[in-house]
Amino acid sequence: MGCTNLNELLADHQRYHSSFQIRNFIIRANGHTPFGMYRQALRELEGRWSALKGLVAERRIAEVTLLSSVENDGFEHKLYDKLRELCEFYQIADWLKEQIGDLTVEKRAELDEQYWCTQMLKAAATDALSSGRISAKTWNNVSTFPEPLRAKLYVELHALQTRGPTALQAFLEPEIQLPEFPPLPSLMDTLLKEANDAVDSHEHALLSGREDTDLGDVLEVNTNRRLHSALH
């Protein structure tokens, strides 16, 4: 039986995803192209931003209702890990935004088309590597593309079936590598402040007997400027 204190062991527990998981299994695996990665990063960022505000509101409610400290044991640890995740997704999204540039309606449509074409070729390569042929599901998905894009993909898929494993593997590799983004204390502090600001804007909703319990995001106009300053 070990001698390590229970609290010491629990201090090593990392909630949520590791940095390796975030970069490789959430962003790169699901995104593939820079635009796809950016879109995935924004999706993750939005969800975790809402979750952080929920945690801050949870703590505020605990203070208002005088909940016992036992019920909130480990809260700061959980809050730190949520901030750590949010901070990394923020930095990834910010870095990808620099690669992509401004998104006009036309540019978004073009990048979205490229993303889905790449996804179809990736699916076909995966089929060919795993079973030696392209699956009916992949062919069916390609059949929903508009002409002349569909005809172009058909040609590429037929050519893909004759390629060797090394060439097929290239279709599975995301277009870019993501740098590592260590947690930035300044950015984490800024994000936490913004979450508190959002909850402060609706502090009345934390009081009992009120129906307007929306804890939506009402931030000051300089939010993006403060985040950018903390990041750089």
What confidence tens digit (pLDDT) does each residue in 30-77 have? 888 999 999 999 999 999 999 999 888 888 777 766 555 545 567 788
Q: Are 24 and 93 in a shared domain?
A: yes
Residue 117 above 80 pLDDT? yes
If phi over 0 gives left and psi between -120 and 50 gives alpha, with beta otherwise, what is residue 80?
Answer: alpha
User: Is residue 179 situated within a structural domain?
Assistant: no
- Report yes or no: 23 and 31 within 8 Å, Cβ to Cβ: no
User: Is residue 77 located within the same domain as residue 115?
Assistant: no
pTM of structure: 0.80
Q: Are residues 44 and 25 in the same domain?
A: yes
Task: Report if residue 200 sits inside a domain.
Answer: yes
Count up the domains in the chain and report the number. 2
Q: What is the pLDDT of residue 78?
A: 85
- Using the 3D structure, point to which of 128, 143, 174 is the last residue of a domain: 174
The answer, yes or no, to whether the previous bond of 148 is cis (omega within 30 of 0) is yes
Statement to judge: residues 30 and 86 lie in one domain: yes
CB 121 within 8 A of CB 225: no
Alpha helices in the chain (DSSP H): 6-11, 19-21, 29-31, 34-65, 75-100, 105-131, 136-143, 149-160, 165-172, 185-200, 223-231
Question: Does one domain contain both 89 and 200?
Answer: yes
Higher-pLDDT residue of 64 and 111 is 111
What is the reported pLDDT for 218?
Answer: 35
The CA dihedral of 24, 138, 156, 26, to the nearest 10 degrees, is -10
pLDDT at 114 over 50: yes
Say if residue 153 is in the same domain as residue 214: no
Task: Inform me whether the pLDDT recorded for 156 exceeds 50.
Answer: yes
Average pLDDT of the chain to the nearest whole number: 84
d(CA 56, CA 128): 48
Which residue segment(s) compose the domain that 119 sits in?
A: 104-174
Question: Do residues 49 and 71 both lie within one domain?
Answer: yes
Length of the chain: 232
Same structural domain for residues 35 and 67?
yes
Distance of alpha carbon 177 from alpha carbon 160, whole angstroms: 24
User: Which of 92, 96, 102, 118 has the alpha carbon at shortest distance from 20?
Assistant: 92
> pLDDT digit string (tens) for 160-203?
989 999 999 999 988 888 999 988 999 999 999 999 998 888 76
Same domain, 97 and 194: yes
206 falls within a domain: yes
Percent of the chain scoring above 90 in pLDDT: 55
Query: How many alpha carbons lie under 13 Å from residue 210 in its C-beta half-sphere?
Result: 11
